[in-house]
Amino acid sequence: MKRERLQLTTAIFFEKMFMKMKGAILVNICELDILKALYLSKNANQRVLAMETGYSLGRVNKAIMNLKKENVIDDELKVNPSGIAKIKRGKTRRAIILAAGYGMRMAPIGNDIPKALLEVNGEPLIERQINQLHEAGITDITVVVGYMKERFEYLIDDYGVNLIVNLEYSTQNNLHSLSLVSEDLDNTYILPSDLYFINNPFSKLELYSWYMISNEKNGNSNVYVNRKLELVKTTDDLANSMVGLAFISEEDSSRLKQNLKTLDEEKKYKNSFWEEALIGDDKDKMFISAKIIDSSKYVEINTYEQLRELDNKSKNLDSEVIDLISNVLKCDREEIRNIAVLKKGMTNRSFQFEVRNNKYIMRVPGEGTDQLINRKEEYDVYKAIEGKGICDAPVYLNPSNGYKITKYLDNVRSANSEDVDDLKKCMKKLKEFHDLNLQVDHDFDLFGQILFYEKLRNGRPSIYRDYENTKKNVFKLKKYIDKHAAKMCLTHIDAVPDNFLFYEDENGKEQLQLTDWEYSGMQDPHVDIAMFSIYSLYDRDQIDALINLYFEDKCAKANRIKIYCYVAVAGLLWSNWCEYKLALGVEFGEYAMKQYRYAKEYYRIVQEELEKIND
């Protein structure tokens, strides 16, 4: 369930709006809110209670009348012993702060610091949350960490918190984080670490479970609050912004615990938010109620710009990437707007931004990229293809660190690896590029790169038990490849569907360009066909079909077998690449194992094809 912060109307207005609807809000919740306010306040009257709780004066009076009938309060609005007994069961015991994630949307600063440690007015977000909890008398605090977990260690000594490590933070969302601490959910606050509350939202008393929500309509959310303060799933514009803070009572903790356990064991919930575990027997509703907050009372910090709006003097706004953009485009830092993270690449982290109504993309090299990419060679490749109609020249490219700025293409889409028309156009473009016979001073040695990526494991054995045998077999293919290799020319190497970009030019005509030249070098151009195939996770029939498109149904048998060889070699190459990235905490799931399977299976296919020839 997505949570987005937007401009809101007031909670009081929202409550009055509900009162105009048929029916009434859930009376028990209203009564419990009034009971809590009476217990915590001194000499409170009806008007004070209305101001503190946000309920209308009429609703407050009705709740007081019911509380008197239940013998919970007396005529002087003092809480009776029976009311105190109910209140004692609602004493808040602890808080769980979820702080394991990457914070990818914080580009360009997300790589340097966890979101929870971003400073606002000189105070890290998570320290503000902890201090507010302490002010409410809550000192039993657990923080679930993952990304840059060591950066949180000081909290143990300074604040007495418990740290729980989510080792799977890179592949699972916060549903898994919460499941790790599901034994301690009774009378507990649950909150993400990126929330900044203007006023303290915590209390030593909570008499029922709730999930905090705003009354703003939000197309990115999928729940809304109905007239009974129930949280109901929706797909239309009735959706309300989900804040993320919740309180779970003792009565509801067992149910949440069981739901977390069940969902955490199901693969389809691997990337889910923990709020999925709040769905009750009625699959369209949560089993806890809504608590409404005014937008002016909180900020969810998901982006660089949200941090800048909240505190434009935050030291975390200092960024060499922002400074670089400012210098290259001759603009003030504040003119860099609408920063939006693009889909996380396998090598880099990129984001879109605007300066003076012009859109750009900034590429920031990912973890360990300095070990994998020679940026000077990449720079030379861009010089070689400049003006050849293959790819737009970068606005800026640093041959030392790989930082790159390019113009943004409107209405762009990547090639669809399942669309035959797209494939025909991609293979035509690829062959046109190969036929240019461009030359550079460096090559891409497939077998050398396999050994290079293997070396980056620093002596650690492969995660695959039969790696050495697989490697031995793949290296046997070199003899056939050397005998049948085509004339060397500049080859893309990473010619995968995502790097073929379709867009419309100024005249509305469809254009196609090939982008991302980091791995490019001199090589047999037919390697690009194999790379396209294995990235697309093609089976043999699909690989043969792609070969036929490139060669226009005129592929010699020797070339086809050679491409099979490249499939096996490239499979082992990228498998080793994935193993190196895995050591850095970057997981590629099915893709990684599939590459290893290509190495094994296509070695066997090559042997079978050669046996047929020899027969």
Q: Where in the chain is the domain with CATH 3.90.1200.10?
A: 412-614
Q: Where in the chain is the domain with CATH 1.10.10?
A: 14-88
Q: Is the pLDDT of residue 242 over 80?
A: yes
Structure tokens given for 529: 């066909």
CA angle at 80 for the pair 77 and 82, rounded to the nearest 5°: 140
Most confident of 45-54, 71-80, 140-149, 296-305: 140-149
Structure tokens given for 244: 């993320």
Q: Is the pLDDT of residue 103 over 80?
A: no
Looking at 218-227, 300-309, 556-565, which range is the least confident one? 218-227
Q: pLDDT by residue (tens digit) across 495-516? A: 999 999 999 888 889 999 999 9
* Nearest one of 233, 243, 325 to 279, comparing CA atoms: 233
Q: pLDDT by residue (tens digit) across 331-386? A: 999 999 999 887 655 456 789 999 999 999 998 886 656 666 888 999 999 999 99
pLDDT for the residue 16: 41
Please, are residues 474 and 569 in contact by the beta-carbon 8 Å criterion? yes
pLDDT band at residue 550 under the 50/70/90 scheme: very high
Q: Is the pLDDT of residue 13 over 60?
A: no
Q: Which residues touch 451 (CB under 8 Å, ≥6 apart)?
A: none
CA distance 37 to 507: 66
Q: Where in the chain is the domain with CATH 3.90.550.10?
A: 92-300
What letter would DSSP give residue 343?
P
The superfamily CATH assigns to domain 319-408 is Phosphorylase Kinase; domain 1 (3.30.200.20)
The overall longest dimension of the chain from CA atoms, in Å, is 103
Mean pLDDT confidence for 15-22: 36
Topology (CATH level 3) of domain 412-614 = Aminoglycoside 3'-phosphotransferase; Chain: A, domain 2 (3.90.1200)
Whole-structure pTM value: 0.70
Considering the four listed CATH numbers 3.20.20.70, 3.40.50.2000, 3.40.50.620, 3.90.550.10, the one that applies to the domain covering 92-300 is 3.90.550.10
Please, are residues 117 and 126 in contact by the beta-carbon 8 Å criterion? yes
Q: Is the pLDDT of residue 220 over 90?
A: no
For residue 84, CA distances in Å to 87, 88, 90, 93, 206 come to: 5, 6, 10, 17, 13
Q: pLDDT by residue (tens digit) across 150-162? A: 999 999 999 999 9
Secondary structure of 285-332 as H, E, C letters: EEEEEEEEECHHHEEECCCHHHHHHHCCCCHHHCCHHHHHHHHHCCCC
Domain at 14-88, CATH class: mainly alpha
Q: pLDDT by residue (tens digit) across 575-595? A: 998 888 887 777 777 888 999
Percent pLDDT > 70 in the chain is 93
